[in-house]
Amino acid sequence: MKRLNSPDFDRWAAQIRRTGGCRQPIHLRGRVRHLDQATGQTLHTYTTANEPDGLLRVPCKTRRASRCPACAEIYRADTYHLVRAGLVGGKGVPWSVSAHPATFVTLTAPSFGLVHTRHVKNGKVQPCHARRDAETCPHERVMSCTVRHSDEDKRLGEPLCPDCYDYTGSVLFNAVAPELWRRFTLALRRYLAKAAGLTVKALGDHLVVSFAKVAEYQRRGVVHFHAVVRLDGPDGPAGTPPSWATADLLADAVRHAAHAVTVSVPAAGDRSAVVFRWGAQLDVRPITLHGELTDQAVAGYIAKYATKAAECTGTLDRRIKPTDDLSALDLRDHPRRLIAECLRLGATEELGELRLTQWAHMLGFRGHFSTKSRRYSTTLGELRAVRADHMRGPDITTGRLPLFEEDTVLVVAHWEYAGQGLSLGEQVIAASLAPPPRTATTAAHGAARE
Ligand SMILES: [Zn+2]
Ligand SMILES: [Zn+2]
Ligand SMILES: [Zn+2]
């Protein structure tokens, strides 16, 4: 009520509207001065001292939909445009890039034990694991499940026998997955070089391999990767790849590299050495402008996963301390056991560099969710700058910001962080002010077949 009745409510409301429905805006305190570079004359000043509470509220810009749907939606849309520009051009990427060989690759994790799954065949949900001669495990559990699980079933992704399930393998796989990916990209380049009779070093004079990838948590709590892999000329997207660099060669290279690479974790204590490799399910499909798998479908698919993280598997959206009482956390048994395994292994010296304790809430995975090689496409930063320019337009035309030549003006800014979020009452007002989170204009393009 105090907020609603305060004389600067309109200004506060304008700030909130500009955050675009952000659920947890960041509060900044500070000032900006625009100076004429030649004369040192102050052209314009802005200070938060005159703002409501002396604060400016700006969007949190999180990637995670679980934290802030509005900001995550912007991130998703930007990721979509970034991935799509790398396939068809635009946003500074030449249109000719659409003629370069490009493939959509899904690299999966191996099995760590039978889990409840949902398969749909001809529109009908199939029984989970119906086995007439199912084995009984050492824990007296029959390794069979005839339930036709609904999409909402909490058991999906959970093991048929948690005591047989390889929790150690599951979290260690997540921990080494980024390295497995790195080795995959190296093996891919080696294969291409060999096919062309070149050394790996000389390959760069002929072509560049570009990629954009995203990590997806499967319900069982392991990551797998979806990636666009594209071949360019030596100068990146603007260059034509050599004629021998065909889509078929790229597909062969992907298959070869996916099967060839391993990462080993040496034995320690009661744990024996393990060699990790990608799961047997490998999907390699060419991306075409009009075929079964289009640029739009691929971009939509990658962008969708870019805003999701491990919380989809029922873990927590925050770090867990080794001193936290896991049994007191509101979790299902499966994610709890995965987290406990991260903490147990994280305490062993030999696995220190995997930093499993710090990444327990991510079930061991500490990589980035969406990454791209340097020359794949435009960057999220550039897309944001374009949007900031666009947002500044109204400020200039309504006189809030003066219109200056960029290169004649010196901008001196000083900002400090002054908190984050909205009070409960403010949340209610904000919800009535802000436009509903942008509807996914790009979601209409659909996602690739799953
Ligand atoms: Zn936000
Ligand atoms: Zn089942
Ligand atoms: Zn068992």
Q: Which residues contact 195 (CB under 8 A, 6 or more apart)?
A: 244, 249, 252, 253
Distance from the alpha carbon of residue 333 to the mean position of ligand 2, in angstroms: 16
The pLDDT of residue 397 is 53
The pLDDT of residue 150 is 93
Distance from the alpha carbon of residue 188 to the mean position of ligand 3, in angstroms: 39
Neighbours of ion ligand 3 (CB under 5 A): 137, 139, 161, 163-164
Q: How far is CA 261 from CA 173, 177, 192, in A?
A: 13, 11, 15
Surface-to-core class of residue 162, CB atoms within 10 Å of its CB (0-12 exposed, 13-18 middle, 19+ buried): middle
Neighbours of ion ligand 2 (CB under 5 A): 116, 128, 145, 147
Give the position of tokens 């891919």.
188
Tokens of 97: 């890039």
Distance from the alpha carbon of residue 433 to the mean position of ligand 3, in angstroms: 54
Distance from the alpha carbon of residue 19 to the mean position of ligand 1, in angstroms: 7
Largest Cα–Cα distance of the chain, in whole Å?
A: 88
Distance from the alpha carbon of residue 381 to the mean position of ligand 1, in angstroms: 17
Q: Is 427 left (phi over 0), alpha (psi -120 to 50) or beta?
A: alpha
The pLDDT of residue 447 is 38
Helix residue spans in 319-370 (DSSP H): 333-346
Distance from the alpha carbon of residue 148 to the mean position of ligand 2, in angstroms: 7
The pLDDT of residue 183 is 96
Distance from the alpha carbon of residue 138 to the mean position of ligand 3, in angstroms: 5
Q: Which ligand is nearest to the Cα of residue 130, counting in written order?
A: 2
Break the chain down into helix, strand, coil percent, rounded to 5: 35, 20, 45
Residues 313 and 335 sit within 8 Å (Cβ to Cβ) = yes
Distance from the alpha carbon of residue 136 to the mean position of ligand 3, in angstroms: 8
Q: Which ligand is nearest to the Cα of residue 58, counting in written order?
A: 1
pTM: 0.79
Distance from the alpha carbon of residue 104 to the mean position of ligand 1, in angstroms: 31
Residues 68 and 23 sit within 8 Å (Cβ to Cβ) = yes
Low-confidence ranges of the chain (pLDDT < 70): 309-314, 369, 390-408, 434-450
The pLDDT of residue 343 is 92
Q: Is 428 left (phi over 0), alpha (psi -120 to 50) or beta?
A: alpha
